[in-house]
Amino acid sequence: MKGFPTALVLFLLSLLGCRSHSAQPARVEQRTTATGQQYTLFHPDHLALQVVTRLPSLDQRECQLSVAAAYTDLQTNQPLDLLVDQGQLRQAQATVGWLDGVLTIVDTTLTLTRIAPGQTPPSAELEQVRRQKGTVLLQELLVYQGQNLKPAGGSLFQRRALVEFRDHRFAVIESVSDSLTMHQFGEDLRALGARNALYLDMGDWDEGWYRKGKSVVKLGYRRTQTARQSNWLVFVEPESAR
């Protein structure tokens, strides 16, 4: 670059560096509990967690992991009890009578709280999150303040949850087994250090994916209702890092 001022050369090189930047992947960890159950943990190190209602494209390089979040209304194919969606009020009150967990996302801050089944967070709280362009959705709590909330018995499926550890770090944890009850899953999450855990939609709605180097790894075993999935929890590179 003979004839170019040094400052201009450095500026052009910095632009090239930005363009070649690759997104930070989710950190993946394998763990086995004392019961012999195997789990995959997805840690959003350096990534932000969001709930989106448009299927994340594999072309969106900033998206590193995508899994189903809230349940889908079988009549309308819309998310069940996604109350505030990135600053937009979708529902003023809960419509399902048995969801007891509240996930709130404002910027990079995540909060898991408990409400009485069938209740709605106070309207003032929803309005505050709306003004902050945040998200509020309701789902089933598996673990709250270190206690397993699910009784023994029930159906057997692969299980997945958004987990808050005792040090307030978050991760998505997915079972390898396709034959776990909610209760057993909750017990294993506690063994893995969960303080709070919110269930994520599974069964026929279980399809997800994450990036591993230059390849994409699919998640879930059944994947039969993927076309009807209405919302996703995603790990994305923060805008400030793009």
The domain locations on the chain are: 23-241
Q: Is the pLDDT of residue 17 over 50?
A: no
pLDDT at 240 over 60: no
The amino acid at residue 102 is V
> Using an 8 Å Cβ cutoff, are 83 and 120 in contact?
yes
Residue 14 has pLDDT above 60, yes or no: no
Task: Return all residues near 16 (Cβ < 8 A) that are at least 6 apart.
Answer: none
Mean pLDDT for the chain overall: 91
Phi, psi of 205 (to 5 degrees): -105, 25
DSSP SS3 for 27: strand
When pLDDT is cut at 50, 70 and 90, the band that residue 8 belongs to is very low
- In tens, the pLDDT along 118-140 reads 899 999 999 999 999 999 999 99
pTM score? 0.90
pLDDT at site 62: 93
Q: Among all chains, which residue has been given the structure tokens 């709070």?
A: 196
User: What confidence score (pLDDT) does residue 15 get?
Assistant: 39
Cα–Cα distance between 200 and 197 in angstroms, integer? 9
Q: What integer is the mean pLDDT of 29-57?
A: 96
For residues 34 and 38, give the distance between their C-alpha atoms in angstroms, rounded to a whole number.
10
